[in-house]
Structure 1
Amino acid sequence: MLSKRLIKYFKSLQLKKYRHQERKFIVEGAKGVAEVLTSDFIIDFLLTTKEYAELLPTAQLSKVKEIIEVTENELKTVGTFQSNSAALAIVSMKEDTNLTLPDDKLVLALDDVRDPGNLGTIIRIADWYGIDTILCSLESADYYNPKVINASMGSFTRVKVYYKDLKEVFTSTQLPVYGALLSGKNIYESQLTNNGILLMGNESQGINSDLEQYISHSLHIPRRGGAESLNVAIATAVILDNFFR
């Protein structure tokens, strides 16, 4: 049974201030927990129902510092899911590492993507296409937000996210920068390489005008119907698919 002290501590990690103060974050549900158990993240606590724990290999459980058997109601109390019959993990953030841009792969850059669900979905999309590096502007949603982690469906364990001043990144690299702009060239008529940086913009405002000067190749997905715009995660998937055709 969880103590009031632990419940208060675990629930505090839903807030950015305490996540970064403690250097811990929450992973919820069977899928996310299974992914983090097979990753190189350090797991401090695993809150699990008896039924779910019996499904986990002993080698995975041995990686956890402390395992606490709980009820479904306790998981709901501590986490953000409306229902959770499996588990919740408290995971240590990794130490920040220096950014080195690869010159032979595509990197994704996000300018002020504020919605956690969008960021998590984009991480999942990046993982699908084999992209392991994402650059986020300093104003973008917090990578460790539970909604980001949940939407990534475990892909957060394979994709590294850096928070950077994008202007500084663009001025210090010779890599081509592709940008999604309404005024861009039809993506289906564009020559795309397998290296460089793909810049995607804010959900409602697009790419900041201050960053447009660094775009060497502007891209646009032509509209066939009457929709005003595409969700940024959907647009990211469409553009990436064209890079890898």
Structure 2
Amino acid sequence: MTISSGPHSGPTGAGPFTPDGCSVELYARLPWADDVGVVAEAAGGPASVLELGCGAGRVTHALLSAGHRVVGVDQSAEMLRHVRGARTVLGTIEELRLGERFEVVLLMSYLLSMAEKPLRARLLATCREHLADDGVLLLQWFTPEWFDTVTPREQADERLRISLHSIVRDTPGRVHAVCEYTLDAQVWQQPFTVVRIERAELRAELAAAGLRWREGFAGDRNWVLADPVTG
């Protein structure tokens, strides 16, 4: 899936870069993500997981260490070379047809918010196609409130600083911005564009794909948990 970078220049820093502007070197060096708790809360224990857009394995490796069985999908062969311990599949999410079902399907990295409606329908169709009838879909999105309140911000620890800046609203419901990573004194800038999705709109799109938003999920508010509609 190719993501528009809006009015900004392309990504900067050490490459190579994926089609959506991610530095392979950066993502291979970033620490493991801390999203395993959200998966554990949704799945209720170790599960078979289809991770769509796994990149260099920041989440994959954490999931494996927690006992999950993971198949990781990405369109970048360079990214997949860094994934260890999981079965990997090279390809685009919207065209994926593995002929398998999983207890958990992950659509992370805010990919849904980076896609226009026709592509979102294809992404969600892939999710449903690979979701067991008693499984759960976890997807990450930018909430409508994020679009109303987003401002430049920064978070940092001893090695890594992540800042959001150059925020531009050039059309209603669309935000362009730059995410800047500083890791061990090296700097990468990744421009991105996200599209606003209202809750009612997302519920309707989930329903069209044979999925139902599960209310009351206690995970972070940037996560949606969905169940397959059966029968």
TM-score (norm 2): 0.23
TM-score (norm 1): 0.22
> Which one has the bigger helix percentage?
1
Whichever of the two has the greater Rg, that structure is 1
